[in-house]
Amino acid sequence: MNEGIGTGTAGAPDTSTTGTVTAPREPPTPEGVVEPSSRDFRSARELPVDDGWYKRAVFYEVLVRAFADSNRDGFGDLPGLTDKLDYLAWLGVDCLWLPPFYDSPLRDGGYDIRDYRKVLGEFGTVEDFVEFVDQAHARGMRVITDLVMNHTSDQHQWFQESRRDPDGPYGDFYVWSDDDTRWSEARIIFVDTESSNWTYDSVRGQFYWHRFFSHQPDLNFDNPAVCEAMIDALRFWLDLGIDGFRLDAVPYLYERDGTNGENLPETHSFLRRVRKVVDDEYPGRVLLAEANQWPADVVEYFGDAEVGGDECHMAFHFPLMPRIFMAVRRESRFPISEILAQTPEIPENAQWGIFLRNHDELTLEMVTDDERDYMYAEYAKDPRMKANIGIRRRLAPLLDNDRNQLELFTALLLSLPGSPVLYYGDEIGMGDNIWLGDRDGVRSPMQWTPDRNAGFSTCDPGRLNLPIVMDPVYGYQAVNVEAQSNSSASLLHWNRRMIEIRKQHTAFGLGDFHELGGSNSSVLAYVREFVDEEGTRDVVLCVNNMSRFPQPVELDLIAWKGWVPTELTGGVPFPPIGELPYLLTLPGHGFYWFSIHASQERS
Amino acid sequence: MTSPGGHRTEAAPALEALLPALVGWLPQQRWFAAKDRTVDAVRLVGHSEVTSADAVPAVTHAVISVGFTDDGPEETFQLLLGSRPEMPGDLDHSVIGTAAGRTVYDGLADGEITRLLLSLIVSDTTVGPLRFVPEPETEAPIVGPGRPLLGEQSNSSVIYGERAILKLFRRATPGLNPDLELHRALGREHSVEVAPLLGAIEGELPDGEGGSTPMTVAMLQDYASNSADGWSMALTSVRDLLAEGDLRPDEVGGDFAGEATRLGRTVGSVHQELARALGTARLDAAGVRGVADWMLARLELSAQAVPEVAERREAITAVLEGVTAADGLVVHRIHGDLHLGQELRTPRGWLVIDFEGEPSRSLADRVRPDSPLRDVAAMLRSFDYAAFHQLAEWEPGAESPSYLKRRAQEWADRNRSAFCDGYAEITGADPRADLAVLRAYELDKAVYEVLYETRNRPNWLAIPLRSMERLIDRS
């Protein structure tokens, strides 16, 4: 037990924290750069090991910079976030996902890491981070953070050493070449800004390889010392108590001649090594892969299905999200049905992460050219709404602030197979600011109150890192947590209620997914079913109307003949399922969640 | 398996007792295709036992001929009858009557009987004149009870665990059913545009003179459990458009053009597969003349019944003669009755179903090779129907505002064009390149539709009439 911190707050769940803290180990730092050890810090209290927690969890992506500012400098920070944990616990969030908060020159939103073992000055200190994790754990919430393994900032000491001294201990930490012709098969990801994956470094007199921005040199994972150094960076944070990592840009770790440099066997073998470290030394912690690929390729990142998966525990399902948007615009279930039919089975211990929006643009890499043009036309009417190959908008403005659609989309997110990842601010329907550069339009400060700076900070408004959204529809005076907390009909309360219902049924997180079809192509209906070890069946039926018009649907529920559907938000029993197709009518963009149970079991 | 009974055409006392009950029962069946005629009497043409007569349940295949009070031609249907000495309650809805102390009912409602049918197919069994045959090189479905598919029109189907569908052809017609024949041929081509064939039940149709000809009883196919038909999807798109008013078809969320293009590709692929599997021929001038004459004969039938057609006989004839514009016509086996309702959208793409051909045509007509443009024209007609059907349904009888008609026409034009694009992409032959021929086929179809709607659905008559005028005007 770490005395002195993490005393918990009133009303916090009694987490039976164990006194054991994994003994921090000496980092085998290569000579030349001295890096801090986790021993130099206290560790957060631990939550009990709970295998599979990530399969049931509701995740919440929160940007430290944008959530709450505790020291009036205009930047959100870790103590500010810690202060808001009660709100997140109230909402029902199980796990917070923090994009990078490491020391960084911030030329790519912190994904350009300058020091893996240091917190960005504006955000606070490592001690602040430990306190934050400790307080989250005190409320039963877990924390995962982004880790970028593929590359560092060009200001990282490793890179500075590498370019300065090719023969030194870091000389081989990056991918250097005398010319820029190798691996031309590898595509350029940031097509808006980069013209090559090679950039010339005048200090070393060689080209260095970078799959992303030219200020983000790729690490050389063919060098065993790089692998060791990266695993030690992971251990550093795991020792301090975090519950896992979202591994950013994971397909690109290695380069090989004649390949596109994505999803190489060497990358998978390194991930298996990382997984083994987690399983052996930090049981219950998770790895979440960010691999923006087709599901058939992404499943490789779960590893060997024979052993239940031996690489990442989770991976994002990227193509699902644009398909949800497309299905509703087309009033047809098939965009969703198609991508789910193309999604392979995943190993026993694996889980998809699904989302509607996140800090990046609404990614359109995983749709055809036709579909992309269509999505641009429908959802990005102003060219400024586009970024790279995607659309930079928040959920509410994407849906014209239509409450029915917001509810339908969220109901899909919370009921389709996978663990839902909410994006901060979407629970109150925050807007975006498309006039801000790059992807900052969806990273504006959280709107807490109708007061100055939306309650995000008490600093001089001019000091704010990013401006508060002020337009008449989405501005902080119209859309904020305080006002919505006080109205039980608000979107915020609705979201909280739906999360609560989701948690009452294990089928949402753990159940099989079975699409029911039906003759009405505008209606997407599916059953989630989980049978526990005692043989108890939890069966949830979800029926979604993709059309703005009321629709009837006849569902084939013969497998549950004689059972009774009970609607989950109100508990109203519907007529029992008989021999004939089950007829339902839905309002425009309406949806139903039912629990189906044998009638005598009605509770 | 030894045969418990060969084909019998002599009177079967037990079944004879059932015939009066059939007079009342038949008109209540959805598949009964002569609802507008009054049944006078039912005659047993032939029957064969699938099980022994005292089995529980016992199964009999029967062919019956139905006579009508109008003294018109008889119609021949087939039945799969179950019988039991005592009925479980859940089969009550399928009871037809009693015979020989047993209750006789529609066998497809009985899970034990549908299980037996599937197991006989899977085990490649012959029972008397009935041959239960699995399709070679296909994976047999797991044998279990089936359940009837509801809401079907002209045939009766049973679903096996969302894996397979057994379709019993209700009309008993001599010869190999084109649906089975073409699915077999497409299966050999490994077509992914049709639901793979898994097996069939084939039998003999007594000719009434002691002999018999082969007939198709039923066919077993993969079941596309998660599917929706193209007709209802197209209507969804039209509804979305008409609700806007100020937006054009390419601007609304429900745009169907992407699906129409994919449909065009699918139909194009099916045509290529049919041509490969069953060969093509080239009609010379005389052959093309035959096609034109056939169209003119159909025009005559329509003109006699519908004044609007009679008034335009000359103009229509001129367009139909357009089919002879080509100096020859490549023909092969085609679908023959293609429309949006014969296409199923599944999560893996479109499937074309029901290769029986136009039900009103004779078998000889239906299996005659024809230009693939007949199918294309039929699809183009179907897009027209989808566009204007919604207007007709909204306020039957009322004249729709002209801007809505304009929107509907834009929808039809956009999707017809998208369909042709997809078709051309696959076949390399743009149907619009032979415009005179395509238009002749389209007008032929419209003239037939005018007759059909006049007789059956007067509310819809305006749709083909409007198209008829447009096709004449454009030529």
Q: Where are the domains of chain A?
A: 38-154+221-501, 511-601
Instruction: Find chain B residues with C-beta within 8 A of A337's C-beta.
Output: 226, 347
Cα B157 to Cα B169, B205, B219, distances in angstroms: 9, 21, 9
Q: Do A581 and B147 touch (CB under 8 A)?
A: no
Mean pLDDT of all residues in A443-460: 96
Query: Which of A328, A329, A341 is nearest residue B347 as measured by Cβ atoms?
Result: A341
Hey, is the C-beta of B254 within 8 angstroms of any chain A C-beta? yes
- Chain A residue numbers touching B394 (CB-CB < 8 A): none
Distance from CA of A552 to the nearest CA of B (A): 12
DSSP state of A259: S
Q: Which residues pair with A540 in a beta bridge?
A: A528, A595
- Sorted by sequence, the CB contacts under 8 Å of residue A573 that are 6+ apart come out as A564, A565, A566, A567, A602
The answer to whether A257 and A184 have CB atoms below 8 angstroms apart is no
> How far is the first Cα of chain A from the last one, in angstroms, to the nearest whole number?
41
Tokens standing for residue B417: 């064009």
Catalytic one of A248, A310, A311, A427: A248
Architecture of domain A38-154+221-501: Alpha-Beta Barrel (3.20)
Predicted confidence at residue A438, as pLDDT, reads 65
- For A409-442, write each residue's pLDDT tens digit: 999 999 999 999 999 999 999 998 878 876 788 8
Which runs of E-coded beta strand occur in A8-113?
59-61, 95-98, 102-103
Distance CA B352, CA B378 (A): 14
Q: What is the mean pLDDT of chain A?
A: 89
SS3 B207: coil
Class of CATH domain B228-474? alpha beta
Beta carbons within 8 Å of A351's beta carbon, 6+ residues apart:
A54, A55, A313, A314, A418, A419, A509
Nearest-angstrom CA–CA distance, A535 and A527:
18
Taking only the tens place, the pLDDT of each residue in A225-281 is: 999 999 999 999 999 999 999 998 899 999 999 999 888 999 999 999 999 999 999
Structure-token pair, residue B57: 């349940």
Contact B27, B75 (CB under 8 A): no
**Structure-token match 């508990």, residue found:** A571
Vertex A235 angle, CA A229 and A237, to 5°: 115
Residue A170: count of CB within 10 angstroms of its CB: 25
Q: Which residues of B439-463 are buried (b: 16+ CB within 10 A; e: fewer)?
A: bbbbbbbbbbbbbebbeeeeebbbb
**CA of A589 to nearest chain B CA: how many angstroms apart?**
13
Q: What is the C-alpha R_g of chain B?
A: 24
On whether any CB of chain B is under 8 Å from the CB of A513, the answer is: no
* pLDDT score recorded for residue A357: 86
Task: Tell me the C-alpha distance between B273 and B182, whole Å.
Answer: 10
- The contacts of residue A104 (CB under 8 Å, 6+ apart) are A110, A111, A112, A113, A114, A120, A153
The reported pLDDT for the residue numbered A364 is: 60
pLDDT of residue A322: 84
Write down the pLDDT at residue B3. Answer: 37
How confident is the model at residue A385, as a pLDDT? Answer: 53
pLDDT > 70 fraction of chain A, expressed in percent and rounded: 88
**Residue A267 DSSP SS3:** helix
Q: Which secondary structure element, helix H or strand E, spans residue A297, and what is its range?
A: helix A295-298
Q: How confident is the model at residue A10 (pLDDT cuts 50, 70, 90)?
A: very low
Q: Which residue has the tokens 């229509």?
A: B316
Per the annotation, the verdict on A567 as an active-site residue is no
From first CA to last CA, the distance across chain B in angstroms is 63
Q: Is A239 helix (H, G, I), strand (E, B) or coil?
A: helix
Question: Cβ of B475 under 8 Å from any chain A Cβ?
Answer: no
Q: How many CA atoms lie within 13 A of A235 on its CB side?
A: 25
**Would you say residue A6 has pLDDT above 50?**
no
A37-67 pLDDT, tens digit each: 988 899 999 998 888 999 999 999 999 999 9
B84 CA: distance to closest CA in chain A (Å): 21
By DSSP bridging, strand A206-209 and strand A198-201 are antiparallel
Q: Does B89 touch chain A (CB under 8 A)?
A: no
Angstrom distance (rounded) from CA B329 to CA B326: 7
Which chain B residues are closer than 8 Å to A328 by Cβ?
Answer: 253
Chain A contact set for B228 (CB, 8 A): 333-334, 517-521
Closest residue of A to B239, CA-based? Answer: A549
CB neighbour list of residue B445: distance below 8 Å, 6 or more residues apart = B374, B377, B378, B381
**A58 vs A502: CA distance, rounded Å:** 9
User: What value, to the nearest 5°, has the Cα angle with vertex A394 and ends A390 and A395?
Assistant: 105
For the stretch B3-58, pLDDT in tens is 334 455 454 667 888 999 999 999 999 888 777 789 999 999 999 999 998 899 99
Nearest CA of chain A to the CA of B226: how many Å? 4
CB A133 within 8 A of CB A95: no
The sign of the dihedral angle between the CA atoms of A106, A110, A116, A117 is: positive
Can you tell me the distance from the alpha carbon of A88 to that of A496, in angstroms, rounded to the nearest whole number? 10
**Which residues contact residue B170 at a Cβ distance below 8 angstroms, ignoring those fewer than 6 apart?**
B31, B32, B33, B77, B78, B154, B155, B156
Q: Where are the domains of chain B?
A: 13-222, 228-474
C-alpha distance from residue B184 to each of A9, A33, B103, B158, B197 (Å): 72, 72, 37, 20, 7
Q: Other CB atoms closer than 10 Å to residue A191's CB: what's the count? A: 10
Q: Is A372 on the interface with B (CB under 8 A)?
A: no
Complex ipTM more than 0.85, yes or no: no
Q: Which of A77, A290, A311, A426 is catalytic?
A: A290
Return the structure tokens found at B143.
Answer: 């044998």
Cα-flanking dihedrals φ and ψ of residue A26, to 5°? -70, 125
Q: Please determine, looking at this structure, whether the domain spanning A511-601 carries the CATH number 2.60.40.1180.
A: yes
Q: What per-residue confidence (pLDDT) applies to A4?
A: 38
A290 assigned to active site = yes
- Substitution target from A324, A334, A338, A582 for chain B, most B beta carbons within 10 A: A334
Q: Which residues of chain B have pLDDT under 70?
A: 1-13, 151-152, 245, 395-398, 475
CA distance B160 to B145: 7
The lowest-confidence range among A73-82, A202-211, A487-496, A578-587 is A578-587
A520 touches chain B (CB under 8 A): yes
pLDDT of A538 strictly over 90: yes
The residue of chain B with its CA nearest to that of A519 is B228
Evaluate whether B438 touches B475 at the Cβ level (below 8 Å). Answer: no
pLDDT at A424: 96
A429 sits in the region (left: phi over 0; alpha: psi -120 to 50; else beta) called left
Mean pLDDT of A368-377: 62
